[in-house]
């Protein structure tokens, strides 16, 4: 079976500015895949190219086994997308928009379903020129999902959504993916992505620097930190320093756990040193720190490779 989206050796330039370098990846059906990387890494460009909005220099893009080019892309009937910001006609109502972009069978049922899933009943019959930022964003997401496509591509979907709407969207994405929909989501809200994505594509300066699962990334970079609240933080810090534990420069007392023994050793040290422990928390590795670490490593390696080449 061909995968829903397969990109091979994709290269894309704007004039003589090379923006995507030999990008290759496949999406597993039914997975939620996060596309992360710094500003200007090429996330939006990659998504737009996959959607036939940009010409590309070389490589191939296949959706459900069919090649996508700007001129011809029938397979995009299987795809829904929201790129950067939603395009909205101010003179149409939200309902008009959904009607305009609904396609295939059961259009009316789909429209009503998406409206209730995203809680848009209160404003859907109003002209879009009066919508707030979040309403527009919801409408954009609804337009991406209205045909209940096999692949959904979302660029910064949480932009401007309130906590309630963010949760509704998260629930919707998870439930659709359980029904087999594949999602490719770029976001800078890493805490949100950490809750959603199973797989990760990390992109920097137009190159895929790592394709991994969320679980592997967190585990590999998973330096665990032990955070302590004590009766005497100053003394605790001194004791820890003397015993050569790795602490963080944070104002709070934090110890980097190198192995499973760290926690009991730290606790014994402090209790024996006469410091009362009020609270202990283990901080799991999080996506943000892991991502920063991966990017740092890849840049160092790239620099080394460049120096060697010279």
Partner 1 sequence: MWTLVRQESFKLTRRVSTWVSTAFLVGIEIVFAFLSRVYPQTFVPANMFESLYFSRPIINFYMIAATATIITMEFQYGTMKQVLYRRYSRGQVLVSKWLAIFFYTFYWYVMSTGIALLMKALLFRHTLSIHQGAGDGMSIFTRGLAISAASFVSLWLLLSVVFLLANLFRNSAAAVSVGIIGYFASNIVTQLLTILIQKWDWAKWNPVTMTLYPSMLSHPGYYQPLLRMQGWQMLLGNVIYIAIFLGIGYYVFNKRNV
**130 scored as a contact of partner 1 (CB under 8 A):** no
> Binds 94, which of partner 1, ligand ATP, Mg ion, none (CB < 5 to 8 A, cut-off by type)?
none
Binding mask 64-93 for partner 1 (x = CB under 8 A): ------xxxxxxxx-x-x-xxxxxxxxxx-
Given the complex with ligand ATP, which of 42 and 80 has the nearer CB atom? 42
Given the complex with ligand ATP, which of 150 and 156 has the nearer CB atom? 156
Distance CA 141, CA 196 (A): 16
Which of residues 54, 213, 233, 293 is near partner 1 by CB under 8 A? 54
- Residue 202 CB, shortest distance to ligand ATP, in Å, is 12
**188 scored as a contact of Mg ion (CB under 5 A):** no
Q: How many CB atoms lie within 10 A of CB 249?
A: 5
Residue ranges binding ligand ATP (CB under 6 A): 14, 17, 19, 37, 39-45
> Binds 278, which of ligand ATP, partner 1, Mg ion, none (CB < 5 to 8 A, cut-off by type)?
none
Q: If you search the block for the tokens 């527009």, which residue do you land on?
A: 136
Given the complex with partner 1, which of 96 and 216 has the nearer CB atom? 96
Count the residues of the shown chain that bind Mg ion, applying the rule CB under 5 A.
1
- Residue 43 CB, shortest distance to Mg ion, in Å, is 5
- Residue 44 CB, shortest distance to ligand ATP, in Å, is 3
What lies within 8 Å, CB to CB, of 186 at 6+ separation is: 34, 35, 36, 43, 44, 47, 154, 155, 156
Which of residues 9, 57, 65, 103 is near partner 1 by CB under 8 A? 103
- Residue 89 CB, shortest distance to partner 1, in Å, is 6
> Binds 179, which of Mg ion, partner 1, ligand ATP, none (CB < 5 to 8 A, cut-off by type)?
none
**100 scored as a contact of partner 1 (CB under 8 A):** yes
Given the complex with partner 1, which of 18 and 195 has the nearer CB atom? 18
Q: Which two tokens stand for residue 300?
A: 């160092």
**44 scored as a contact of Mg ion (CB under 5 A):** yes
Handedness of CA 258, 262, 266, 267 (dihedral sign): positive
> Binds 86, which of partner 1, ligand ATP, Mg ion, none (CB < 5 to 8 A, cut-off by type)?
partner 1
Q: Which residues are near partner 1 by CB under 8 A?
A: 14, 48, 51-55, 70-77, 79, 81, 83-92, 96, 100-101, 103, 143
């Amino acid at each position: 079976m061909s995968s829903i989206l397969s990109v091979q050796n994709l290269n894309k330039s704007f004039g003589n500015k090379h923006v995507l370098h030999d990008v290759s990846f496949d999406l597993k059906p039914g997975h939620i895949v996060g596309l992360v990387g710094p500003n200007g890494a090429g996330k939006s460009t990659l998504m737009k190219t996959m959607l036939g909005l940009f010409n590309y220099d070389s490589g191939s893009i296949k959706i459900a086994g069919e090649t996508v080019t700007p001129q011809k892309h029938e397979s995009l009937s299987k795809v829904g997308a929201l790129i950067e910001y939603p395009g909205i006609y101010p003179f149409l109502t939200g309902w008009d928009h959904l009607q305009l972009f609904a396609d295939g069978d059961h259009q009316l049922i789909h429209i009503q379903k998406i409206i209730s899933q995203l809680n848009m009943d209160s404003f859907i019959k109003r002209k879009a020129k009066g919508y707030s930022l979040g309403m527009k964003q919801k409408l954009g997401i609804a337009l991406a999902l209205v045909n209940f496509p096999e692949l959904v591509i979302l660029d910064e979907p949480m932009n401007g959504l309130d906590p309630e709407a963010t949760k509704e969207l998260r629930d919707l994405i998870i439930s659709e993916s359980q029904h087999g929909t594949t999602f490719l989501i770029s976001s800078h809200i890493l805490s949100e992505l950490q809750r959603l994505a199973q797989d990760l594509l990390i992109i920097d300066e137009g190159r895929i620097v790592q394709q991994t699962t969320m679980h592997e990334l967190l585990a590999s970079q998973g330096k665990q930190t032990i955070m302590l609240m004590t009766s005497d933080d100053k003394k605790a810090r001194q004791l820890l320093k003397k015993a050569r534990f790795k602490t963080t420069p944070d104002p709070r007392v934090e110890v980097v756990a190198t192995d499973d023994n760290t926690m009991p050793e730290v606790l014994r040290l402090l209790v024996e040193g006469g410091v009362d422990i009020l609270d202990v928390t283990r901080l799991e590795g999080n996506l943000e720190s892991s991502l920063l670490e991966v990017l740092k490593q890849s840049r160092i390696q790239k620099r080394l490779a460049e120096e060697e080449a010279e």
